[in-house]
Structure 1
Amino acid sequence: MDKYEEPDFEGAKYVMSPPLRAKGNPEALWRGLASGDLQSVGTDHCPFNFVGQKDMGKDDFSKIPNGMPGVETRLPLLYHFGVNEGRFSVNRFVELVATGPARLFGLLPRKGTISIGADADLVIWDPDKKHRLTKENLHMNVDYSPYADVTVKGYPALVLQRGRVIVRDNQFVGEAGAGQFLKRNPIHL
């Protein structure tokens, strides 16, 4: 069934740009990620609650806020469906989520690598941890996830920011406001 045709206005949850594509398109994207034709995977992470926001468009499609949640589920889904299903290696996963974006944004070698002088922003990954994605155990401050009830294998065990643990056991334990503005270097592709 087309997600946009789900009953009870549930299709509004999938209104985003770019829109969902036909079934063959995702496989082409997986091939591009594996081959290096695509260098990173990002998310706009533009969430709107279904109740009180997306449902504003019940009588007028043009009033549906455009966007979906995705930042918290990006890495687990990419690892599960990319690495676990044999589409690409764990090394390619690291390139797609760390080294590649740091290079593209002019932040390498401060970000995207484990080396002397780098910031030590790390995700300690448990490749065997199974985790069921639910709106109750996600932290995106939205009342639904398009990936609700998907069980992934491979999940963060710890997240470090500049060498300090900020996520442990799927709970934020860092300090609010600890982020920093980073001046970018020139990009040489």
Structure 2
Amino acid sequence: MNVVGTDHCPFLWEQKLMGKEDFSKIPNGHPAVEHRMELLFSEGVKTGKITLNKFVEVTSTNAAKIFGMFPRKGTISIGADADLVVFDPNKKHTISAKTHHMNVDYSAYEGWELTGKIETVLLRGKVAIDAGETKVAKGYGQFIKRGKTAF
């Protein structure tokens, strides 16, 4: 395993049902980006299927290398962007469409109990998310031009 990502497509359940009679009409993808890191930690690291180092590789370092953004992204080092998460490895929580922040009315992981929760997200060194609340203004994101792959 080199990298983990999602085909995050937050179609509403009603939109997904367009393919009820013809699967070719189902909009592709599913909403998962909000829970990707926590799912992989809980179901991978906590169950002993992957190491903590592998978790960091497949969620951060390798993606930055594949997309030619390393070492600006994917590492904690001088000159990097300081995109970090503060993660509580022991916090238990349950995934639910009622509590997630994605603009979608269902979760394929509804009711899953996880161990490990992102508490704070820093984007370019600034607190962007804290305790589930957005702390940066709309438009704070920044386009990063891809470079050559670092693999």
Distance 2:142 2:77 in 1: 20
How does 1:10-159 map onto structure 2 within 5 Å? 38-51=1-14, 53-159=15-121
In the TM superposition, what is the alpha-carbon distance from 1:185 to its structure 2 partner? Answer: 2.5
Larger radius of gyration: 1
CA RMSD of aligned residues (A): 1.3
Of 179-188 and 54-63, more deviation after overlay is shown by 54-63
Structure 2: which amino acid aligns with 1:160?
Answer: L
Give the secondary-structure state (helix, strand or coil) at the position aligned to 2:13: coil
- Residue 170 of structure 1 is matched in structure 2 by 132
> How many residue pairs were aligned?
151
Give the secondary-structure state (helix, strand or coil) at the position aligned to 2:129: strand
Structure 1: which amino acid aligns with 2:88?
Answer: D
Structure 2: which amino acid aligns with 1:48?
Answer: F
Q: Deviations over 1:123-153 (max 9, x none)?
A: 1111011111110111111110000111110
In the TM superposition, what is the alpha-carbon distance from 1:56 to its structure 2 partner? Answer: 2.3
- Residue 5 of structure 1 is matched in structure 2 by none
- Structure 2 unaligned residues grouped into runs of 5+: none
Answer 1 or 2: higher relative contact order, Cα 8 Å, separation at least 6.
Answer: 2
Structure 2: which amino acid aligns with 1:154?
Answer: G
TM-score by length of 1: 0.76
- Structure 1 unaligned residues grouped into runs of 5+: 1-37
In terms of fraction of residues, the more helix-rich structure is 1
Structure 2: which amino acid aligns with 1:181?
Answer: F
Contact 2:70 2:150 in 1 (8 A): no
TM-score by length of 2: 0.94
